[in-house]
């Protein structure tokens, strides 16, 4: 992959904003049904995001902005690796004021800590 293949940090940010809006809309919809139903939305959305990343290369926001998460061979991550990247090392990247995510701005391959640790790259489709 060349440097031009890697997704621009601004596009990644837009994908994150779209995912956040979709997540918030889901919370609102479940709240209308029952405030208790929100408890079901959290794991459903989390697993949906991991599933979409492993099968289609990204979350809903990433798919909409035409970027994809791949491994070093250019293949989609397995479900296990997508979960690890998103929720295990993703939490580490968010520590220290989000420094692990801001690393995307500095890294030549535009990888955050969660990408580096999981061996993932985010590229344009």
pTM of the model: 0.91
**Counted domains in the chain:** 1
Do residues 59 and 87 touch, judged by C-beta distance below 8 A?
no
Residue pLDDT, tens place only, 38-75 = 888 889 999 999 999 999 999 999 999 999 999 999 99
pLDDT of 95 over the 90 cut: no
- The pLDDT of residue 67 is 98
pLDDT band at 28 (very low <50, low <70, confident <90, very high): very high
- Determine the structural domain holding residue 103 and report its residue range: 3-124
């Amino acid at each position: 992959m060349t440097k031009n293949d890697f997704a621009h940090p601004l596009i990644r940010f837009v994908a994150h904003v779209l995912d956040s809006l979709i997540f918030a809309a889901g919370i609102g919809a479940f709240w209308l049904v029952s405030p208790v139903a929100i408890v079901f939305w959290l794991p459903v959305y989390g697993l949906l995001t991991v599933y979409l990343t492993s099968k289609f290369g990204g979350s809903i926001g990433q798919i909409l902005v035409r970027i994809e998460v791949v491994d070093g061979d250019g293949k989609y991550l397995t479900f296990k690796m997508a979960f690890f990247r998103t929720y295990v090392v993703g939490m580490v990247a968010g520590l220290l004021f989000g420094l692990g995510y801001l690393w995307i701005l500095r890294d030549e391959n535009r990888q955050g800590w969660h990408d580096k640790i999981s061996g993932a790259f985010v590229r344009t489709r």
